[in-house]
């Protein structure tokens, strides 16, 4: 473990904070169960990358309930745009291009 210190105590009372920890633990177990190997570096970057994609939520226009939001599962940043790729629970996939500010 290459962690020197952290303090999330001001967030710990939030059920959503605890849900994030449980979700990451569940994901770690799922990777092991499915025999999916990712590097330690990729594992450490994953939560930050997921958090960075949150502003780019999109809905699946092919599904019956198009109000459900999905988040990019991959993306490429070129200059001032993000090409974000999505997959919904029903197996549809699509790409949305976003203009990045700043």
Give the interface segment with Zn ion, choosing from 2-10, 44-52, 80-88, 94-102 (CB under 5 A).
80-88
Give the interface segment with Zn ion, choosing from 19-27, 30-38, 53-61, 72-80 (CB under 5 A).
53-61
Among 28, 66, 92, 95, binds Zn ion (CB under 5 A): 92
**In degrees rounded to 5, what are phi and psi of residue 93?**
-135, 150
User: Least distance (Å) from Zn ion to the CB of residue 51?
Assistant: 23
């Amino acid at each position: 473990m290459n962690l020197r210190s952290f303090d999330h105590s001001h967030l710990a009372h939030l059920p959503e904070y605890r849900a994030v920890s449980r979700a990451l633990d569940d994901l770690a177990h799922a990777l092991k169960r499915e025999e999916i190997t990712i590097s330690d570096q990729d594992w450490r970057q994953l939560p930050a990358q997921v958090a960075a994609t949150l502003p780019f939520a999109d809905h699946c226009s092919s599904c019956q309930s198009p109000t459900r939001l999905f988040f990019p599962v991959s993306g490429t940043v070129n200059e001032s745009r993000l090409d974000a790729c999505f997959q919904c629970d029903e197996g549809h996939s699509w790409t949305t291009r976003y203009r990045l500010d700043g």
